Amino acid sequence: MNQTRDTARTAMAWQQAAACIGADPEWFFSPDPIETAAARSLCSSCPVKAECLAHAEGTPESAGVWGGVDLDERRRIARRRKATAVVR
């Protein structure tokens, strides 16, 4: 049991380096375009942006801005990847 907890803790360690630490979580889940823009701005210079996006793509994150990308954009990315994989 402890090994599972340690593995989960290590897997999410990237969050400690995120630019959004201490930011208002509402920005990342808001329908307000101004707050969404603030979230994207914060993401743009984040050192763990790729890890954040990978987390959202690998888990059922059904809302919010993750790695600077909203749900609709994540869906488009997934469709493009799937189409590319089929072509190969």
Q: Which residues are annotated as a binding site for [4Fe-4S] cluster?
A: 20, 43, 46, 52
The answer to whether residues 52 and 28 touch, using CB atoms and an 8 Å cutoff, is no
Nearest to residue 27, comparing CAs of 38, 19, 17? 38
Binding residue positions: 20, 43, 46, 52
CA distance 88 to 72: 25
